Each structure stands twice: as C-alpha cells, then as structure tokens.
Amino acid sequence: MWYARYGAVRRKQADRRSRAVVQMDEAREQHITKLLNSVQNDHARPDRDRWEARPSTSDNWQTDADRGGHSYFTPSVVKDELPDNWDEEDPQEEEEREKLRRTDKDLEFLFQDVVRDGSLDDDLMRDLQSKKSNPKYKEMLKFREKLPSYRKKEELVELINSNSVLVVSGETGCGKTTQVTQFILDDYINRGVGSMCRVVCTQPRRISAISVAERVAAERAESVGNGNSCGYQIRLQSRLPRRQGSVLYCTTGIILQWLRSDTMLSSISHLVLDEIHERNLQSDVLLIIVKNLLALRDDLKVILMSATLNAEKFSKYFDNCPMIHIPGSTFPVEEFLLEDIIELTRYRPQNQDCRPSWKRGFWQGQNSRPEKEEKEAEYKDSWPCYERTLQDRYSDDTISAVEMLDSNDKIDLELILALIRHIVLQEEEGAILVFLPGWDNISGLNDLLTAQQMFRSDRFVIIPLHSLMPTVNQTQVFKRPPPGVRKIVIATNIAETSITIDDVVYVIDGGKIKETNFDTNNNISTMTAEWVSLANAKQRKGRAGRVRPGKCYHLYNGLRASLLDAYQLPEIMRTPLEELCLQIKILKLGSIARFLEKALDPPTEKGISLAIKNLTDLNALDHSENLTALGFHLARLPVEPHIGKLILFGALLGCLDPVLTIAASLSFKDPFFIPLGKEKMADMRRKTLSRNSKSDHLTIVNAFQGWEEAKRRGARYEKEYCWDNFLSANTLQMLHNMKGQFAEHLMRTGFVSSKDPRDPKSNVNSDNEKLIKAVIVAGLYPKVATIKPSHSKKRPGVKVYTQADGKVCIHPKSVNAEETEFNYTWLIYHLKMRTSSIFLYDCTEVSPFSLLFFGGDITIQKDEGQETIAVDKWIVFRSPARIAHLVKSLKKELDSLLEEKIRNPAPVDWENRQSKDCAVITAIIDLITTQEKPTGNTQGHGRPWASSSAQRGQHVYLNDDDNDDDDWK
C-alpha cells in the first residue's frame, strides 16, 4: 500500500512538473488589456443595451406552444380533444416555410396540395390505357405477372382501400417493393381519381431508393423522374415525378425533413414504409410520428412492409391492424450446421488445446448486455445434453472438433478455407458468397486463399467487399464469370440486403456480425462481433437460392442456432440519442422522454437522460429541455450536434471551406480506401498527405484540396491523383456535394453571404492551420485526451489517456498512431469506441490556447504554490495570475460575441478591423497563431520530447519520473 501511495504521489508531482506554461509577451499583453478596456466601456453604452435587447432571429421560430413543450399532435390526442386553434399557423413560421419553399430543392415535391383535377384524371387514364399497347410495357408486364406479389394484387388493393394501416410481409424476391406502389397508383387511375394519388415509399438506403425507382419506371415504360409517374429523392439528389398521380421513392430522412415544414404530411395520400424490420433509428422514430398522425388524418393510408420474422410485432403496435403475407420465389436451399461441415470436410482445429469459451470462463463479463451473458450461461448448461444428441449421428472426432471450435471471439478462417476447397472439389459450378463480420476477417481469408496455388489460377475470381476497399474492381461482383471460372465473394452483411449477386449458389455464413452498441454506464460506444440473429441467418440463406437450388453452410452448431435472437437489437436501443433528441425538439413533438416511451422498443431512461445532459452541456438545450438558439441551428443541420457546432464555428471564424470538408467527412466517411496487400503503402500516402500536421482532420483537408486541384486540371489528372493516394473519387464527390449543402444552409440562416464554400469572404483565415485546429476543439470538445511519453523499451513512443477511461489507444489507421514526437500534450478526437481495446478515431493534436478559448469553463487557482489556469478543472496549465485573468476575460468576451452571433446570425465584417467583433476574434487568432509556442519544465527534471536537434526547445517538456502504469485516471 505504501508503494502504491508513493507511486501516486510521484505521478502527481510529475504531472505538475510537465504542465505546459501559458504565457504571452509584454506587447501582446498590453494590446489585449487595452482591447478589453475598450470593449468593457462599449458594454456600458446605452445604445448597446438597446441593441442587445432586440429579439433574436433564432428566437422567432419558437412559438408559445413550443416553449411550453406542446406539439401539434401527441399519442393521447384525438380530434375532439384538440384546441380550437390547433391548425392555425404562426405567421413567423409560415414566413420561414415560404423561404424554405423557395430555396430548398429537397422540399420541392412536398408543397403540392392533393386536390381533385378531373381533366388530369382523364389524361392519366388515357396514358395508362395507351401503355397496354406499348411493346416494352407488355414485355415488362409479363415479368411482373410471374412475381408472387402480382398474384396477390386484388387482395392487396382491397385491404389497402379498406384499412388505415396494413402490414405486408414477404420473402426476398417476392416483388413487394416494386409492385405494391404501382398497384395503388394504377387502382386510383383506373377508378378515375388518379390526381388524388401521391404515394411516397421510404427506403433505408440511398442506393435502394434510386435503384428501385429506376426499376419501377422501366416497368412502366418510362424514364425515372422528368415529370413521369415514378421518381426518387435522396439527400443532395432527386429526379422528381409529376406532382399528382405519382410514386416517389425516398430515404427515411427526407420524410423527417418534410415534417418540419408540414407536420401533417398533408400532401401525401399513401405512405409506404419499406424494410421496417431493419429497425434503424429514423424508421423507428417515423413509426411513432405516423402512429400519432393517424389520429388526426383518417384519410392517410400507411403500408408497412417487412420481412416475415417480426410482422406480428408491427401489427400489434398499430392496434392489431391486418396483415398479408406474400411468399417468396427463391429456390430451395439446403442448410448445414457446424457439425455437418466438420463431418463433410473432416477438418480438425490446429490448436488442440483450444477449448470452448464457456469452459475457459472467457465469456463472463465480456458483453455489456446482460441478456448476452444469460444466453452464454444457458449455452453452458445445455451443452452436455446437446453433446449426447450428437453422438447418434456424428463421429467422436467431429463432436470434439465442434466443442473446440465454438468460440465467442474468433472465426476459424482455416475451416472456411477447407470448406471452400470441399465445395470447389465436390460440388457443381456456382458462385460462393462468404459472410464475415469485418475487415480483419476478410483480409485474413483473402490472404489464405491467395497463398494457395489452387486459388491463384485463372479458374477463380476472388472479390472482397468492404467499405474500406476500392470500388474499382467490385463491379465484377455482379458479372457472371466465363464457364469454368468460379467466383468467390468475401463480404460483410452489406451482401445480405443492400446488393443481390444473382449467380450465388453456395453461401458460407460465418455466423457473426459487427454490432455497434452504446454503453450508457461508461458513455462509450462499443463494437463487437456478435452472433447473427435468425433474421440475418435467413437473409444469408436466401442469397443462395436466386437462380437454382443452393446450399448454405452456417458456422455454428445446432445448440447455438436454437439460442439465436429473432433479430438484432433495434438501433434506437444501442446508439447515442443526441441527434434524435434535437430532431424531436425541432419537430415540436413535446417531451423527449414521453415521446420516446411510445417507441416500438423504447430506449433506456438512462440513455435518454444522458443524451439530454450532453445536449444541455453543449448549450443546445436549456434546463427546461427547450431548444436554445444554438440548439435550433444544430437541429436544422443534417449532422450530429458536435459536427453541427464545428460547422457554425467554421463560418463564424472565417475558415469555412476546410472546416466543411472536415464536417462532411466526419458525418459521412473519409475518402481513403485500403487495397488488400497494400495496407502499408496506403498508410504511408496518408501520412504524407498529413504534412506533419499531426491531424487526421487536416489530412483529409489536404487530400480534398489536392483532389480539387487535380480535377481542375482534367479527368486524367483526377484519376491519377486518386489512384496514387488511395482515394475514392466517388466519396470525394459526395463530400463536395455535402459541403455545398452545408454552405447553402449557412447562407439561408445568415451565417455567411454566399453558398459557395470557397467564397473568399468566408475563408479569410482558411490558411491558418492552428485556427482550424482550434475550431475543431470548439466543435468536438469535451472529447479530449492527453499524451504522455512511454518509457517502456517494449512499447516506445507515447501513451494516451482520457479522463474517463484511463489508458486508451489511437486507432491504427490514424496518422498519429505511430507518432512519437508531438508539439503539445493534448489530442481532440471525434469518436471513442471499445473493440479489442478502447480506440480514438479521427484525432488532432491541439494547443493550450485552443483548449482555453474553445473548451469548457476556465478556473484560476493555485496548486501547491503553482499558479494555474484550468479548463473544466482537469485540463491544467501553469500560468502567471495576471495572464490567466487576462485569458479568462478575453474568453468571456469571445463567448459573449459568439452567443450574439448565434442568436442573430450575420457574417463577421473582417474588413472593419476596428469593430468589436473583429477586434476580439483577431486578438484570439493572433494569440493562437503567433504567440503560443510549446513550452515546459526545463529545470533539471525535464527533457525535450523530440529527439531532433532542430526541434529541441520547441516541444513540451515532460518528466522522466512518469512511470509505465496503465491505471492512470
């Protein structure tokens, strides 16, 4: 105990000695003192008081009802109980909506009243009749008539017309997504009321919305959009159909966006919610809203389309509404379990000491979800009985191998290799599709296959499918190889529903899926490879029977199969809820907790409380759970709150273009890919693009700017640039489009004067790398980690810690992962996730002044005689008291200025250097940019962190006494 206490004391002493010093030169100190005096005199002016008393533009959107937490509709409200003025529009809100109508293309289709138009009805009927003599339409109709859904056409139409809600369940390939919408439209047209029909069908993915719309248009012998009967709308892209008598496919997010401007969805006659069994966050929220809305709109028809496993649950949620099932059209698929596979291949695990995870006791405590641990306990108890049932049908060697292979944490890739060899040598021709949970497994199996002489021949085409891999060669996945060549696709669960590979005959189901969860107790996301659900297993099996009878090999035993969950945990129960909470408030849906308790599967009270607390800390919600001015703007941006704040600060501080690049990347994905076998080369290119910025965020900015320059030079240069730097041109183009959307939103709300992200007025400080890092702090704080040197000979370099978790790791794909020389001792990061360890993703080294001005609350204190200034009491720097008070006063002015800018958005007038806005911001920018140099203790104890003599004296000094304990908190 004495040694432990002594070690703790020494660590604290070392921490004090290693604190960076916050200092400024005398001339800068005098300048800031003079500036603060002039600003404080300005505060006292009567005209300023009147100016500050003006109502803020951000407050104007709030109605009295919203401030009181009421909404237009709640689950308990029915028409008779509504207030007399429930449908009256606030004039300010109507003005805001009119502005949206004029400027937002995503809302173009929405603003069309559904009114009967007799002449249009006749035109639509004549058009449909004429199609019946169109050869292309007739050919497509023959195909449609063979679909299982077509055989249910009359029954479907009758059920939809006679009920407010209908659940349609169906197997993959039955045609429900493409046919049900057409049945509705054609029924209305044939009855002479086509102008009254506006069908909107939601899709969980952008690619699905586009591809389904194109297919439906082709079936109707039309082109998609262009005023024809079918179109699509996704974020940043749309091809809209005619305004009446039409079908629109869109992503779920588009509907939620529409609800801000039309809470009743009054322009929609039929709302079809497709793929609802996937239970993503947005679709679950939309289900709550639609259930509330049905109490007010008895004319609205809602059709829920789901896989077969949980259709009853949706029917029950909508008051036991009717259901109809459409059978699939796939061929029969023979299934094999682990024991069958072992018997077929005679495979024996190489590690004979391998025991099942439950025998090693490894399963205990590994899952953050108690129900998972209960399943493992049940498995352990049931194994002896199950083992006896195997003895009648399988050899002792097989039973022994099954017992050894049942491990909770790893997939045996050697077994998959043996199974692929068995299929190739013993089975008929046909593509093989292997499902694996992540990059490491896909990469590992690819290496195993390519190491075998057999699979290196031209008789095989091996195609890995993963978001980190280039898409150049992935188009091969849809092409049938020549006779005698076998295609082997190694994929994540993207191949379950998002894409269909028609010629697959053999499926190998690895039995695992990467699942993200949110641990509310520790406020951290986790990602682990979990056992698949029955729904996953069924989807995977269905991939094998598209063209002829197939076979599916599951890499889990029969006991494990009996304990699989019916389907995955809904996203609403396993993700942070901050962005969702803001959407609830902007849509005026009342109390967050009361709204979410109406969900099909409500999130935990703790998860809701944590999200509200985080939003309050971010100043997006006040303590009465109302949106603040900042919260209003964050809710309007289509990104999570921290990224939204980053965007706003980029606009306010004149570095818009690079900050929008960072924001787009964080909310979508970074543009880098990793080709198999070239991982180290890709890391080197990424490192080169970082230009020693020690920032993943600035690395993406540099990559994006290089792409823009190459693109200006021509298509050949763009292609070469992307190829040389392992960049995806498609992703870069998407980031470019997103930046345009963000800039347009900022212009509409008054933060900038142009919708061009590169507008010079919005980018006066865009070349200032240190300021951009400070803006990253403003957006992502309090996601801060501290860096310490590692004196371990086994693991040289640095160690990284967070306040909540102790020691953590920088993710290997970060440019900082192998970094040994840092200028400062602090990192800001975007995401913290627990997998094999706790990893920080997307991190940037930041300076003390960045944290002081753009972090949390500042306190000034003495610590054992040492004068200090601290951010939120834990990020502590040494500083003379007068400098600390000066910094604190300047931060107070900055906070006041930024709050005013948020409440009354207006671009900063950078040309008027005498204005208060410009003077305060410029003083801070100058401090961050030119004043601050890395400093530290040099009095006998410290040593420069960098080994280079050129850099010595320019880095934070750290103390040699820091030991290698991993339990720092």
- HEC profile of 462-496: EEEECCCCCCCCHHHHHCCCCCCCEEEEEECCHHH
The alpha carbon of 553 is separated from its chain's Cα centroid by a whole number of angstroms, namely 31
Indicate whether 421 and 314 sit together in one domain.
no
* Range of weakest confidence among 625-629, 710-714, 912-916: 912-916
CB 482 within 8 Å of CB 518: no
Determine the average pLDDT of the residues in 326-346. 91
In this predicted structure, what is the pLDDT of residue 106?
A: 52
Q: Give the pairing of strands 838-846 and 826-834.
A: antiparallel
- Judged against a pLDDT cut of 80, whether residue 457 lies above it is answered with yes
Return d(Cα 594, Cα 598) in angstroms, integer.
Answer: 7
Indicate whether 949 and 919 sit together in one domain.
yes
Band (515; pLDDT cuts 50, 70, 90)? confident
Indicate whether 233 and 347 sit together in one domain.
no
CATH number at residue 153: 3.40.50.300
Indicate whether 300 and 360 sit together in one domain.
no
CB 542 within 8 Å of CB 314: no
Say which residue the tokens 């300047």 belong to.
890
Indicate whether 496 and 537 sit together in one domain.
yes
Domain edge (last residue) among 271, 301, 326:
326
CB 197 within 8 Å of CB 230: no
Q: Give the pairing of strands 524-531 and 826-834.
A: parallel
The answer to whether position 159 is within a domain reads yes
Number of domains in the chain: 4
Determine the average pLDDT of the residues in 562-573. 89
Return d(Cα 205, Cα 203) in angstroms, integer.
Answer: 6
- Judged against a pLDDT cut of 50, whether residue 335 lies above it is answered with yes
Indicate whether 768 and 805 sit together in one domain.
no
In this predicted structure, what is the pLDDT of residue 938?
A: 31
Determine the average pLDDT of the residues in 846-854. 92
**The whole model's pTM is what?**
0.82
- Judged against a pLDDT cut of 50, whether residue 338 lies above it is answered with yes
The answer to whether position 33 is within a domain reads no
Give 215 or 369, the one with higher predicted confidence: 215
Indicate whether 253 and 377 sit together in one domain.
no
CB 721 within 8 Å of CB 732: no
Indicate whether 723 and 794 sit together in one domain.
no
- Judged against a pLDDT cut of 70, whether residue 61 lies above it is answered with no
The residue segments making up the domain with residue 849 are: 781-959
DSSP 727: B
* Range of weakest confidence among 118-127, 458-467, 689-698, 741-750: 458-467
Q: Can the peptide bond before residue 322 be classed as cis, meaning omega within 30 degrees of 0?
A: no
In this predicted structure, what is the pLDDT of residue 468?
A: 59
The answer to whether position 944 is within a domain reads yes
In this predicted structure, what is the pLDDT of residue 69?
A: 34
CB 241 within 8 Å of CB 228: yes
Return d(Cα 950, Cα 453) in angstroms, integer.
Answer: 51
The answer to whether position 888 is within a domain reads yes
The answer to whether position 652 is within a domain reads yes
Indicate whether 859 and 919 sit together in one domain.
yes
Tell me which H or E stretch contains 208: helix 206-219
In this predicted structure, what is the pLDDT of residue 351?
A: 63
The answer to whether position 602 is within a domain reads no
The answer to whether position 385 is within a domain reads yes
The answer to whether position 25 is within a domain reads no
Domain edge (last residue) among 722, 747, 773:
773
Most confident of 338-342, 497-501, 954-958: 338-342
Return d(Cα 310, Cα 287) in angstroms, integer.
Answer: 15
Domain edge (last residue) among 531, 553, 569:
569
Q: Is 426 helix (H, G, I), strand (E, B) or coil?
A: helix
Indicate whether 664 and 644 sit together in one domain.
yes
Return d(Cα 1, Cα 7) in angstroms, integer.
Answer: 10
pLDDT digits (tens, 9 = 90+) for 136-178: 999 999 999 999 999 999 999 999 999 999 999 987 778 899 9
Give 315 or 836, the one with higher predicted confidence: 315
Indicate whether 139 and 282 sit together in one domain.
yes
Indicate whether 298 and 415 sit together in one domain.
no
Determine the average pLDDT of the residues in 69-81. 31
In this predicted structure, what is the pLDDT of residue 719?
A: 94
